[in-house]
Amino acid sequence: WLDRLKTGLSRTRNQLGALGSIFSLRKIDEDLLEELETTLLMADCGVEATTALLTELRRRWKQDKLETGEQLQAVLAEALRNLLLPLQAPLQTDGHKPFIIMLAGINGAGKTTSIGKLAHHFQAQGKSVLLAAGDTFRAAAREQLEEWGSRNNVVVIAQEGGDPAAVAFDAITSARSRGIDIVLIDTAGRLPTQLNLMDEIAKIRRVIQKAEPSGPHEVLLVLDANIGQNAIAQLKAFDKAINVTGLVVTKLDGTAKGGVVAAIARTIPKPLRFIGVGEGIEDLQPFDATEFVDALFS
């Protein structure tokens, strides 16, 4: 996974890696710090996280009398790791049976494919899984889940053109009677500006709670890393509507904007449960701050 992560993060790595070459040849001065600042902003770390990182670097530069770029890079890696550590909180599913996970996000963020990968992840832990095809707008999303389910021997609850809240309700009832460990509920993509659809997803959440008063046990927002800084606005809007409890950041492999996770950490820290670095079934893994920073800098 570490190699995969490293390859996956290569574009963000190159973005930050540009620093490496600057660092190794230079002595620390204000020009170098300014270049570093620009590079962090270009990797979509956002103003708040970039400022926080720069403040820490300046402090350590003076306090520890750092001289070489290499030393500064080590301090940057450490500061970034400290910034990201609060996001590291792997999803624990043992507290409830069934453990109900609802997924939300805009179209194309990677919800449906992430559900397949998550189902695989939980099955590998010996858990049984049931899927709810709650994206009733897109027939392709339902078919994709049904196909995945039949290939992997996983029950998929679907209703052609049905009400997504009803699909979620049925899925929970069915999971309970079958003694299933984990229910993954897909939802249709929507934009925070589509207020009727935001109301709808809030309703889906309420209906899940009717089916299981302790649930949903996890509300995952799936964010495409390519949207960079927009992720913050999206997260705030979805959080307001459905109280997001965890994040999945996908497509870190296709982007130089991997710094967005630092922006999230600084502005609206939520557990980053999983990160996606490719289309393969193993390409979605729990987020680990140390691994992530090592993959970027080593």
Q: How far is the CB of 295 from ligand GDP (least distance, A)?
A: 14
Q: How far is the CB of 31 from ligand GDP (least distance, A)?
A: 36
Selection from 31, 29, 23, 35 nearest residue 69 by Cα: 23
* Six-digit token string for 298: 């080593």
Contact by Cβ (8 Å): 69, 28: yes
Selection from 70, 137, 45, 91 nearest residue 285 by Cα: 91
Tell me: is residue 280 an annotated ligand-binding position.
Answer: no
Q: Which is nearer to ligand GDP, 64 or 143 (CB)?
A: 143
Tell me: is residue 205 an annotated ligand-binding position.
Answer: no
Q: Which is nearer to ligand GDP, 251 or 266 (CB)?
A: 251
Q: What residue number has its CB nearest to ligand GDP?
A: 276
Q: Which is nearer to ligand GDP, 12 or 250 (CB)?
A: 250
Q: How far is the CB of 278 from ligand GDP (least distance, A)?
A: 5
Selection from 98, 108, 276 nearest residue 185 by Cα: 98
Q: Which is nearer to ligand GDP, 164 or 278 (CB)?
A: 278
Cα 101-165-106 angle, rounded to 5 deg: 65
Give the number of other Cβ atoms within 10 Å of residue 65's Cβ: 9
Tell me: is residue 186 an annotated ligand-binding position.
Answer: yes
Tell me: is residue 118 an annotated ligand-binding position.
Answer: no
Contact by Cβ (8 Å): 258, 73: no
Q: Which is nearer to ligand GDP, 254 or 286 (CB)?
A: 254
Tell me: is residue 107 an annotated ligand-binding position.
Answer: yes
Tell me: is residue 288 an annotated ligand-binding position.
Answer: no
Binding site for ligand GDP (CB under 6 A): 105, 107-113, 141, 189, 222, 250-251, 253-254, 276-279, 283
Q: How far is the CB of 105 from ligand GDP (least distance, A)?
A: 5
| C-alpha to C-alpha distances, 11 to 259, 277, 289, nearest whole angstrom | 11, 11, 18
Which residue matches tokens 């995945």?
148
Q: Which is nearer to ligand GDP, 78 or 146 (CB)?
A: 146
Q: How far is the CB of 62 from ligand GDP (least distance, A)?
A: 40
Give the number of other Cβ atoms within 10 Å of residue 94's Cβ: 8
3-class DSSP assignment, residue 158: coil
Tell me: is residue 259 an annotated ligand-binding position.
Answer: no
**Annotated binding site for GTP, which residues?**
105-112, 186-190, 250-253
